[in-house]
A and B are shown apart, each in its own frame.
Chain A
Amino acid sequence: MAIIERPAPAPSRLVGAPPRVTADTSYGVFRRPVETTGWRSWLFTVDHKKIGIMYGVAAFAFFVIGGLEALLIRAQLAGPDGTLLSASVYNQMFTMHATSMVFLFAMPMAAAFGNYFLPLQIGARDVAFPRLNAFGFWCFLAGAIFVNLSWFLGGAADGGWFMYAPNSSVPFSPTHGIDFWGLGLQITGIASLTGAINLIVTVLNMRTKGMSLMRMPVLTWMVLVIQFLLLFAIPVITVALFLLMFQRIFGATFFSVADGADPLLWQHLFWIFGHPEVYILVLPSFGIVSEVLPVFSKKPLFGYPFVVFSGAAIGFVGWGVWAHHMFASGIGPVSVMVFSIATMAIAVPTGVKIINWTLTMWGGKLKFTTAMLFAIGLVVQFTLGGLSGVTHAVAPSDTQQTDTYYIVAHFHYVLFGGAVLGFFAGFYYWWPKVFGKCLDERLGKINFWLMSIGMNLTFGPMHIIGLQGQPRRMYVWTEARAGEGFFNMGFWNLVASIGAFTIAVGVLLFIFNVVKTTRSAPPAPLDPWDARTLEWMTTSPPKAHNFDALPEVHALDEFFHRKYEDVGEEGHHDLRRVATAEEILAGEEAKGDHHIHLPSPSYWPMVLAFSLPVVAIGVIYAPVVAIIGAVFALLAMFGWALEPAVADESDYEPPADDAPGTELATVGSSE
């Protein structure tokens, strides 16, 4: 491996070897965007914080859309013989609910947290490839919009989120829904892949002085683990989606049993991606909880290395369990046994994490803020979901439960109880850091209890109706077969629907909380929670360059160690406060760097990203459109390659010597 590094040459404008690349010579027509305020500063930004916020807003919008789809499903199933949705629309609804929640909410929300906090937590000024970062966001948005366009163009995808072949072939799904789904996910896949490369390089290469790997906050660690999962999982689903596209659009027969194909090929390819995917969804929340629990327990995280390595172990073992999604598909007794045991094994590192979180709280000075409540909620609810997960690992039991609501109950406990509660813990914990204002705690606690009770009302009864035999994806159930007494499916379906609307009220309350505090809340204190990690060692919200001086790290929980001194003796810990956050910040600002180089905004990431859905539309409807889109993409790539990452003086309007950007060059790479 060529890891021999040669020193980069001194910057061109100082040694003068290659001539300057100016706005005029770069693009002929365009000057590069230089706005620092207004909507342009968001559209063309390469700032990881702005991109993180945009990821968060867009992902939350799709959380609401996916939630509305879920409400329609539950409204349909609340009573017998529901008539709200037709069978066809119901199929589209559950497919798009899962697609929205998995690909358009949970993954980009993880990207939001990763983008915003990862550079702050490792003491960097931006990510390694700022323009690639912007490109990733716009790809995600373009792909997400593209997938949802299908609602208006003949109907959305209707094959379930895992789109099993051959049910996803044209005879069974003649609309363009699955074509939109597949191509849209290819585009969001590009976002995930570029994001993965970007964040891995950022973590490995851009840590501040003293920030060794084992001093990194757990959120950073977990985000790093999922980027590796994405890096290797995304290409597999890419292959599967290409094969599906070739089958649907070009008439290949990869999944046609009649032509001798093996439909299990799709299942293998999908789940080799799909099982790492579920850890991609939940590990970021594990990271968030590992940040929140120590802060509100006033204790360091119990067994930090164990939490880190169990996270990595989950990521690693997660590659060897995909076929437990296929126990009912006839893969043979040996395969079933191997994957069954591997699946049970993955409960071990997960259990290690649960133990560590519990022992973090043990004996701590617990402070039950909203963020803490959500974090504890995750520990409890995820454990419940994990327990029903172990019942799936037992293949004979799983065979009974396959395709029933018991499965739905399980994965909603781990995904809602795991991923979503963790994200909300993160919202409440980091809101003052990102927006400079604390969310209202009283509303927040109501929000927590509504969502917590709501999720148990919704998904708890699904265990019962699942074991009673109600199948997934059936658009109606009938009173005649609903059963008697305690196990009456009608009663529990109604409870689940009431629970779903309870969750919805909780989410609405969160939105109300955001609006209310944005309008009227006073500025938050600099360190409202007595936090422990580097991102709190700067202003709230952070400056564009994150840190005036890149902090030097001496310990895990650096910020906490700067605030407190341990004066205890003989094994007893007695913490004495030696500095306030304000004092530490003032000290850092006093030795601030004076010539901080920031990457410059660019049009090209957005142009390139939005030329991709044009190509995709062309693939579905008219090849000539695809060619036009590809030409735009190619032009954008050349524009990108020829554009220096550092804005030149002449790029500014007016090109004055003291323009605000002249001393701001790149912290990242030239890509």
Chain B
Amino acid sequence: MSEPGEPGGTPPEQKEPGAGAPDLGTDTSGPVDTLDQIPMGGVPEPGETPAEQSPDRASTITEMPTHGEHRDLEGGHATTTGLSNNKMGMWLFLGSECLLFGGLISTYMLYRGRHSGSIGPDQIYDIPFTSVSSFVLLMSSLTMVLAVSSITRGDRRNAKLWLVITALLGATFLGGQVYEFTTFYREGLGFTTSLFSSSFYTLTGFHGTHVFVGIIMLLSLTGMLSRRRVTGDEAEVVELVGLYWHFVDIVWIVIFTLVYLIPA
């Protein structure tokens, strides 16, 4: 991580030409620590205007500099590490989620063999079916990447399209899960039937809830993009939802492997 002594406004590295938000430049001589270098306009704080304040400062609202020094609005990029606050917050949240699923998966692994014998993991799973729905979910990660890619290029129309497709694929997976749960229930595997069933439904139910929340986020984001109501950097918001979505997918890879593929 870059220490503050280094040139600030870490360069917007690895950008494709023409990609993303307009490159605001990196011609900084160092990190900005005093905002009065920035003629932002607006009215000085009452009672705190020093006498030597130059009168033209308060009237320079139209001269907003466009270089990368601007650090404040919308989770500015001029953070100490160079990673935006929002993105770092999302990564930390996902780190925490790993432990949540860790606990649930451990519970399932402990109890997967504790059932009456006739309805256990080996008898009940329909692996071809779940493989197909897993494939659908994994494909939704691809469409999510395409959505992020579109919005980064400023292509709002395609971004919305890919977001909706991602949500539909997620909904397909969720529909598959509902079908699977219903089938299991008909075959006699209720939530309280055995320790195996309780821990299975809890684990996959928590994952399904995460997918459901993700679908709500995707659709809300699509609506907000349509009406231009996203607060902050649109591309980053799409990317943050994408991070969450990919996480949910990756967790499913682990669950699918441990729960379905490994024989009990």
Interface of A toward B, CB cutoff 8 Å: 1-11, 14, 18-19, 21, 128-129, 193, 196-198, 200-201, 204-213, 231-236, 238-240, 242-243, 246, 250-254, 259-262, 265, 269, 545, 548-550, 552, 589-597, 638, 641-646, 658, 660, 662-663, 665-671
Contact status A8-B48, CB under 8 Å: no
Q: Please name all residues of chain A whose beta carbon is closer than 8 Å to the beta carbon of B199 when the two chains form the complex.
A: 254
Q: Please name all residues of chain A whose beta carbon is closer than 8 Å to the beta carbon of B234 when the two chains form the complex.
A: 18
Closest to A593 in B: B35
Contact status B229-A642, CB under 8 Å: yes
A242–B182 Cα distance when bound, in Å, is 23
Min Cβ gap B178→A in Å is 18
Contact status B231-A668, CB under 8 Å: no
Q: Please name all residues of chain A whose beta carbon is closer than 8 Å to the beta carbon of B230 when the two chains form the complex.
A: 18
Min Cβ gap A415→B in Å is 24
A239–B48 Cα distance when bound, in Å, is 51
A22–B198 Cα distance when bound, in Å, is 48
A2–B40 Cα distance when bound, in Å, is 31
Contact status A254-B31, CB under 8 Å: no
**Which of A6, A595, A638 touches B235 (beta carbons < 8 Å)?**
A6
Contact status B89-A5, CB under 8 Å: no
**Which of A4, A193, A233, A665 touches B72 (beta carbons < 8 Å)?**
A665
Contact status A6-B20, CB under 8 Å: yes
A4–B23 Cα distance when bound, in Å, is 14
Min Cβ gap B68→A in Å is 5
Contact status A8-B231, CB under 8 Å: no
Contact status A5-B21, CB under 8 Å: no
A239–B84 Cα distance when bound, in Å, is 30
Contact status A552-B33, CB under 8 Å: yes
Q: Given A10-B64, A252-B198, A669-B86, are A663 and B35 neighbors across the interface (CB < 8 Å)?
A: no
Q: Please name all residues of chain A whose beta carbon is closer than 8 Å to the beta carbon of B152 when the two chains form the complex.
A: 6
Tell yes or no: B224 within 8 A of A by CB: yes
Min Cβ gap A459→B in Å is 33
**Which of A210, A243, A259, A591 touches B36 (beta carbons < 8 Å)?**
A591
Closest to B62 in A: A14
**Which of A1, A9, A240, A243 touches B91 (beta carbons < 8 Å)?**
A1
Min Cβ gap B262→A in Å is 20
Q: Please name all residues of chain A whose beta carbon is closer than 8 Å to the beta carbon of B76 when the two chains form the complex.
A: 8
**Which of A198, A206, A591, A670 touches B79 (beta carbons < 8 Å)?**
A206
Q: Please name all residues of chain B whose beta carbon is closer than 8 Å to the beta carbon of A14 when the two chains form the complex.
A: 61, 64
Closest to B232 in A: A670
Tell yes or no: B24 within 8 A of A by CB: yes
Closest to A551 in B: B33
List the one stretch of B95-103, B122-130, B131-139, B157-165 in contact with chain A: B95-103
**Which of B21, B38, B88 touches A205 (beta carbons < 8 Å)?**
B88
Contact status A594-B74, CB under 8 Å: no
- Given pairs A8-B76, A18-B234, A208-B33, 10 additional interface contacts (CB within 8 A): A11-B70, A129-B89, A231-B92, A246-B202, A252-B192, A252-B202, A592-B45, A594-B35, A597-B73, A670-B232
**Which of B85, B97, B192, B228 touches A669 (beta carbons < 8 Å)?**
B85
Q: Please name all residues of chain B whose beta carbon is closer than 8 Å to the beta carbon of A9 when the two chains form the complex.
A: 21-22, 24, 74, 233
23 example contacts (A-B, Cβ-Cβ < 8 A) are as follows A5-B84, A6-B21, A10-B73, A11-B64, A18-B234, A128-B89, A204-B1, A205-B85, A209-B4, A209-B33, A236-B102, A238-B103, A253-B194, A254-B107, A591-B34, A591-B36, A592-B36, A593-B36, A594-B48, A594-B57, A595-B38, A663-B44, A668-B85
A615–B149 Cα distance when bound, in Å, is 38
Contact status A5-B10, CB under 8 Å: yes
Contact status A596-B107, CB under 8 Å: no
Min Cβ gap A543→B in Å is 9
A207–B235 Cα distance when bound, in Å, is 26
Q: Please name all residues of chain B whose beta carbon is closer than 8 Å to the beta carbon of A638 when the two chains form the complex.
A: 220
Contact status A11-B85, CB under 8 Å: no
List the one stretch of B11-19, B168-176, B251-259 in contact with chain A: B11-19
Contact status A201-B43, CB under 8 Å: no
Contact status B79-A205, CB under 8 Å: yes
Closest to B68 in A: A7
Interface of B toward A, CB cutoff 8 Å: 1, 3-5, 10, 12-15, 20-24, 30-31, 33-36, 38, 40-46, 48-50, 53, 57-58, 61, 64, 66, 68, 70, 72-77, 79-89, 91-93, 95-100, 102-104, 107, 110-111, 114, 152, 191-192, 194-195, 198-199, 202, 220, 224, 228-236, 239, 243
Q: Given A11-B73, A645-B231, A663-B43, are A250 and B12 neighbors across the interface (CB < 8 Å)?
A: no
Q: Please name all residues of chain A whose beta carbon is closer than 8 Å to the beta carbon of B92 when the two chains form the complex.
A: 196-197, 200-201, 231
Closest to A239 in B: B103
Contact status A260-B195, CB under 8 Å: yes
Closest to A211 in B: B4
Min Cβ gap A140→B in Å is 17
A246–B229 Cα distance when bound, in Å, is 39
Contact status B5-A210, CB under 8 Å: yes
Q: Given A6-B20, A259-B195, are A232 and B45 neighbors across the interface (CB < 8 Å)?
A: no
Contact status B13-A4, CB under 8 Å: yes
Q: Please name all residues of chain B whose beta carbon is closer than 8 Å to the beta carbon of A591 when the two chains form the complex.
A: 34, 36
A234–B97 Cα distance when bound, in Å, is 10
Closest to B10 in A: A5
Min Cβ gap A23→B in Å is 14
Q: Please name all residues of chain B whose beta carbon is closer than 8 Å to the beta carbon of A1 when the two chains form the complex.
A: 91
Q: Given A232-B95, A235-B97, A646-B73, are A594 and B85 neighbors across the interface (CB < 8 Å)?
A: no
The secondary-structure label for the interface of chain A is: loop
Closest to A208 in B: B33
Contact status A206-B89, CB under 8 Å: no
Contact status A592-B48, CB under 8 Å: yes
A667–B243 Cα distance when bound, in Å, is 24
**Which of A193, A593, A642, A660 touches B96 (beta carbons < 8 Å)?**
A193
Contact status A668-B202, CB under 8 Å: no
Contact status A8-B96, CB under 8 Å: no
A269–B102 Cα distance when bound, in Å, is 11
Contact status A204-B81, CB under 8 Å: yes
Closest to B53 in A: A594
Contact status A595-B89, CB under 8 Å: no
A129–B66 Cα distance when bound, in Å, is 25
Q: Please name all residues of chain B whose beta carbon is closer than 8 Å to the beta carbon of A660 when the two chains form the complex.
A: 46
Contact status A201-B85, CB under 8 Å: yes
Q: Please name all residues of chain A whose beta carbon is closer than 8 Å to the beta carbon of B86 when the two chains form the complex.
A: 669-671
Q: Given A7-B77, A589-B48, are A204 and B88 neighbors across the interface (CB < 8 Å)?
A: yes
A443–B220 Cα distance when bound, in Å, is 58
Q: Please name all residues of chain A whose beta carbon is closer than 8 Å to the beta carbon of B50 when the two chains form the complex.
A: 589-590, 592
**Which of A232, A589, A662 touches B99 (beta carbons < 8 Å)?**
A232
Contact status B97-A212, CB under 8 Å: no
Closest to B82 in A: A5
Contact status A243-B107, CB under 8 Å: yes
Closest to B25 in A: A7
Contact status B72-A597, CB under 8 Å: yes
Nearest 9 Cβ contacts at the A-B interface: A663-B42, A239-B103, A669-B75, A670-B232, A235-B100, A205-B79, A593-B35, A209-B33, A595-B40
Contact status A594-B49, CB under 8 Å: yes
Q: Given A128-B85, A592-B36, are A254 and B195 neighbors across the interface (CB < 8 Å)?
A: yes
Min Cβ gap B46→A in Å is 7
Closest to B202 in A: A246
Contact status A641-B66, CB under 8 Å: no
**Which of A239, A552, A593, A671 touches B104 (beta carbons < 8 Å)?**
A239
**Which of B43, B64, B72, B236 touches A667 (beta carbons < 8 Å)?**
B72
Contact status B45-A594, CB under 8 Å: yes
Contact status B195-A253, CB under 8 Å: yes
Q: Given A10-B64, A204-B81, are A658 and B43 neighbors across the interface (CB < 8 Å)?
A: yes
Q: Please name all residues of chain A whose beta carbon is closer than 8 Å to the beta carbon of B72 when the two chains form the complex.
A: 597, 665-667
Name the residue among B35, B111, B235 with the largest chain A CB count within 10 angstroms. B35
Contact status B220-A641, CB under 8 Å: yes
Q: Please name all residues of chain B whose beta carbon is closer than 8 Å to the beta carbon of A642 when the two chains form the complex.
A: 224, 229, 231
Q: Please name all residues of chain B whose beta carbon is closer than 8 Å to the beta carbon of A250 when the two chains form the complex.
A: 191-192
Q: Please name all residues of chain B whose beta carbon is closer than 8 Å to the beta carbon of A10 when the two chains form the complex.
A: 24, 64, 66, 70, 73
